[in-house]
Amino acid sequence: MAKKSYGLETEIVHSKFTDDPHKASVAPLYQTATFKQKSLTEMGEYDYTRSGNPTRTHLQNNLARIMKANDAFAVTSGMGCLDVITKMLSPGDEVIAGDDLYGGTHRLLTYLKDKGDLKVAHYDTTNTKLIQAKVTTNTKMIFLESPTNPLIKVVDVKSIADHAHQVNPDCIIVFDNTMMSPVLMTPLDLGVDIQYESATKYLNGHHDIMAGVIATRSSKLAERIYYVINATGCGLAPYDCWLLSRGLKTLAIRVERQEQNCQRVAEFLQKIGFKVRYTGLESHPQHELHQSMCRGHGAVLSFETGSIKVSEKICELTDIFGISVSFGCVNSLISMPCQMSHASIDAKTREERALPEDLIRLCIGIENVEDLIDDLTKALLKAGAVKINSKDELYNAVSVQVQAKL
Ligand SMILES: *Cc1c(COP(=O)(O)O)cnc(C)c1O
């Protein structure tokens, strides 16, 4: 009988777990480093947690299903994923990377480049023709991320992947899907060979663990990925696997609510005159490209105020928005990327990449959206970010509930 497949929301909740002798409703936590053998010569399925643990297997099987991969691997962080993936390369290998990657990604690639391990070239990945022109038979890997943050640049994943595979069938396309999560995007359907995600963000959703997930459809790549994870010992610890499995169950509904809230906040900020970057707005130059690849827009947006000082004040004047790096959590966060998450990129490079120093990034949570807009409105007014003569517009942009509180 053909296996029945359900909608993603159902698959996420309906975690397959059948082999517990006590029929536990929740997959048990195997908090153990070692497993006994049946006899001196008979090995069981597990022997040592670095190599494998049932709690990790359970999580990985669920992740593989929702990422539409054949294999998924849970490791200690998002950067741990990139470390594993780059360890598959050989000295002197040429790789291409985006120019607006996550700060930590940029740092690790630069470290490997400066040591002479890799040849890394960064390009503007919104320029599909440019990237295509730069791919040669020597290009071993291409690192993509979409939308990037905080600049919210969108990459035409399929055009780049298809072209690269044509030029060099062995070129490995690596995609960081942290911003969209498996709910909103299936990069493996777009020609990506290896997808990874910081599970510290949406997958876990509660900012109480760090984790990363690597997924692929290729059994050859899966074998190499597993080899590195087992050899280096970066597999996710059982308790963190258990927590991630728990957080994962609400992924679909969290992302749905966060996105709805984010769309409202983006429209509000745009309406009162800020330059807002969010793919959910039709004003985003790559709104359509993004929609052709994804099922939604996520919950991270950025906007400019025109003044570093004003931006700083706004961040400090909000009550609900916590000043914090990261995103994907149930609560809303505010940050200034140039001073926080992207501080590891030097000022000169930031300028070259047109990263505005006054940029504010908002990561929207699942709170009551009127409260979020209310909180932002108060901070914008107090910081002097909206002029008095545009107060009417501000008034028109917020809801009746918010108006009543102003
Ligand atoms: C946070 C993040 C990472 C790194 O993940 P960690 O779990 O913090 O190591 C990588 N890529 C993106 C896009 C991220 O936001």
Please calculate the CA angle 330-323-196 and round it to the nearest 5 degrees: 55
Separation of alpha carbons 278 and 361, rounded Å: 11
Alpha-carbon distances, residue 195 vs 72, 135, 241 (angstroms): 9, 20, 19
Hey, what amino acid is at 231? A
**105 Cα: distance to centroid of ligand 1 (angstroms):** 8
**299 Cα: distance to centroid of ligand 1 (angstroms):** 15
239: how many CB neighbours lie within 10 A of its CB?
13
Separation of alpha carbons 302 and 278, rounded Å: 7
Which parts of the chain register pLDDT below 70?
A: 1-4, 344, 388-391, 402, 404-406
Q: Are 63 and 79 in contact (CB under 8 A)?
A: no
CA 253 to chain centroid, in Å, comes to 17
DSSP state of 339: T
Alpha-carbon distances, residue 98 vs 127, 178, 186, 260, 358 (angstroms): 10, 15, 19, 28, 22
Separation of alpha carbons 242 and 131, rounded Å: 40
Predicted local confidence at residue 388, as pLDDT: 61
Predicted local confidence at residue 354, as pLDDT: 81
Which residues line the pocket of ligand 1, CB cutoff 6 A? 77-79, 102, 104-105, 145, 176, 178-179, 198, 200-201, 210, 212
Tokens describing residue 342: 């992207």
Predicted local confidence at residue 146, as pLDDT: 97
Mutate to test the pocket of ligand 1, among 75, 79, 100 (most ligand atoms within 8 A of CB): 79
Cβ neighbors of 246 (< 8 A, separation 6 or more) are 26
Q: Where along the chain do its domains lie?
A: 8-248, 252-405
Q: Which of 252, 175, 183 lies closest to 215, judged by CA? A: 175
Task: Specify burial of residue 114 (Cβ count, 10 A radius: 0-12, 13-18, 19+).
Answer: exposed
Separation of alpha carbons 174 and 169, rounded Å: 14
122: how many CB neighbours lie within 10 A of its CB?
20
Predicted local confidence at residue 1, as pLDDT: 46
Mutate to test the pocket of ligand 1, among 85, 102, 154, 179 (most ligand atoms within 8 A of CB): 102
Predicted local confidence at residue 109, as pLDDT: 97
From the options 3.90.1150.10, 3.40.440.10, 1.20.120.1200, 2.70.70.10, give the CATH code of 252-405. 3.90.1150.10
Separation of alpha carbons 365 and 250, rounded Å: 13
268: how many CB neighbours lie within 10 A of its CB?
21
Mutate to test the pocket of ligand 1, among 155, 176, 178, 202 (most ligand atoms within 8 A of CB): 178
CA 346 to chain centroid, in Å, comes to 22
10: how many CB neighbours lie within 10 A of its CB?
10
Separation of alpha carbons 277 and 297, rounded Å: 11
Per-residue pLDDT tens digits for 196-213: 999 999 999 999 999 999
Separation of alpha carbons 193 and 175, rounded Å: 8
Q: Are 292 and 403 in contact (CB under 8 A)?
A: no
**401 Cα: distance to centroid of ligand 1 (angstroms):** 36
From the options 2.60.120.10, 1.20.1640.10, 3.40.50.300, 3.40.640.10, give the CATH code of 8-248. 3.40.640.10
> Ramachandran region of residue 403, left (φ > 0), alpha (ψ -120 to 50) or beta?
alpha
Q: Which atom of ligand 1 is nearest to the CA of 178?
A: 13
